[in-house]
Amino acid sequence: MIGGGPAGTTAATLLAQKGWQVTLFERETHPRFHIGESLLPMNLPIFEHLGVLDQVAAAGIKKNAAVFTSPTIKAKPTRFPFANALGESPPHAYQIERSKLDKILFDNSHANGVQTLEQHEVIAVSLASDGIHKLQVRDADNNISAWQCRFVLDASGQQSLISKQQKWRIPNSRHTASAVFAHFSGIPLNQGDGSGDINVYWFDQGWMWFIPLGDELMSVGIVSSPDYLKTRKPSESLCDFLGNTVNKSFAARKRFKNGMQLFPAKAVSNYSYTSSQRSGEGFALIGDAHTFIDPVFSSGVYLAMSGAERVVPLVDHWLQGNRLSYTIARKRYERAMTRAVKAFSWFIYRFTTPQMEYLFQNPRNILGVEQAVVSMLAGDVYKSNSVHLRLLVFKFIFFMAGIFGPAKRRKS
């Protein structure tokens, strides 16, 4: 296993529980900072499956809803409580510092019998079509060792080790985006039941998130086209750029005014991509190692962990030497991931259009359409069910709004 984030640790634990011998290489040491702190309700059954739900609940804060707000003075926040979802998604999720979540998952892998090696970076993978793959691994003392395995899972996140090595990585031409983010103290929480909600605020060039991680800790980030990031003046620090952008939303500005930044702002640029291949003879890619989509719907950790769950049968069949079942499981895995990524992507590509902003700000539950959108927000994206049908109605309404509805975003 290459990588000890949510994807790698989930697959490693589940495979070890099935009795397979798993070695997990992680180049860093947990706990370590990682962005991506807002989880989805559909993560909860996976935590339960892994046996860590209580630990996650203790370390995180309850997220009952997602809230969306336009940038203008008059805009009212629209709240989508997860309890309103159709289907079987749990009524809440968690917000949690990734240093804490990833350590819980990593330690759990170890407790389940995975050989977990931190400060071990996989620097090269040599894939063999019918037998034993070879890995080169560098440790903290710069020693390089050679390893062999019958199945290799790449969960290396945005490093996309195998995908890059094989030249399978394809930038997403439909959606380029960049982000700037940091943690802050001094930003007030929403009241009562909404204190753990994620707040998403539009601004004219993109959107921003406020994710509460505790009474005195808020993750704040902006997402925009890479061109917008280039408008930063030479004299403007990344931190000031982040603050000045937050101030473009009236509602965000009001909450942000006493915010104190806790570490220098970080930036990630041009980050959406996929991989032309996600699996092959005795290997598979999971999580960000194959696809990264814009984080507006907090889908990354869920896609990583749910993908890891779905890859387990594939590994199982391969190791048992059952090639026919392996081929079928591979197809199933590829189809499931394509479907889930597509379900979120349709909304992501249109999220900053005036009509999407309008529909999110003025939701109507005609034929259960609003509830279906809540289900998508909760992560119910794999099945062809009533949610899927109602989302088709939403898409129709969206196109009609494009013809008859608001043509232009109001300026703040």
Ligand X SMILES: Cc1cc2nc3c(=O)[nH]c(=O)nc-3n(C[C@H](O)[C@H](O)[C@H](O)COP(=O)(O)OP(=O)(O)OC[C@H]3O[C@@H](n4cnc5c(N)ncnc54)[C@H](O)[C@@H]3O)c2cc1C
CA 146 to chain centroid:
32
Which position among 46, 161, 252, 315 is part of the footprint of ligand X (CB under 6 A)? 161
Ranges within 319-338 binding ligand X (CB under 6 A): none
Which position among 17, 28, 127, 262 is part of the footprint of ligand X (CB under 6 A)? 28
CB neighbours (10 Å) of residue 312? 22
CB neighbours (10 Å) of residue 362? 12
Which position among 37, 197, 370, 380 is part of the footprint of ligand X (CB under 6 A)? 37
CB of 305 to ligand X, least distance (A): 8
Kindly determine how many residues on this chain lie close enough to bind ligand X according to the rule CB under 6 A.
40
Which position among 16, 20, 22, 25 is part of the footprint of ligand X (CB under 6 A)? 25
| SS3 (DSSP) at 64 | coil
Return the number of the residue (282 or 295) whose C-beta is nearest ligand X: 295
Return the number of the residue (125 or 359) whose C-beta is nearest ligand X: 125
Return the number of the residue (55 or 156) whose C-beta is nearest ligand X: 156
User: Which helix (H) or strand (E) is 184 found in, with range?
Assistant: strand 178-185
Asked if 175 is part of the footprint of ligand X (rule: CB under 6 A), the reply reads no
Tell me the two tokens of residue 73: 């003075």
DSSP string, 256-319: HTT-EESS--EEE-S--EEES-SEETTEEE-GGGT-B--GGG--HHHHHHHHHHHHHHHHHHHH
Q: What is the DSSP letter of 81?
A: E
Asked if 22 is part of the footprint of ligand X (rule: CB under 6 A), the reply reads no
CB of 405 to ligand X, least distance (A): 29
Asked if 221 is part of the footprint of ligand X (rule: CB under 6 A), the reply reads yes
Q: Which amino acid, residue 202?
A: W
Asked if 138 is part of the footprint of ligand X (rule: CB under 6 A), the reply reads no
DSSP string, 298-309: --HHHHHHHHHH
CB of 358 to ligand X, least distance (A): 24
Buried b (16+ CB within 10 A) or exposed e, 195-204: ebbbbbbbbe
Asked if 370 is part of the footprint of ligand X (rule: CB under 6 A), the reply reads no
Asked if 2 is part of the footprint of ligand X (rule: CB under 6 A), the reply reads yes
Residues near ligand X (CB under 6 A): 2-8, 25-28, 34-39, 121-122, 155-159, 161, 179, 181, 221, 268, 271, 287-289, 295, 298-302, 304
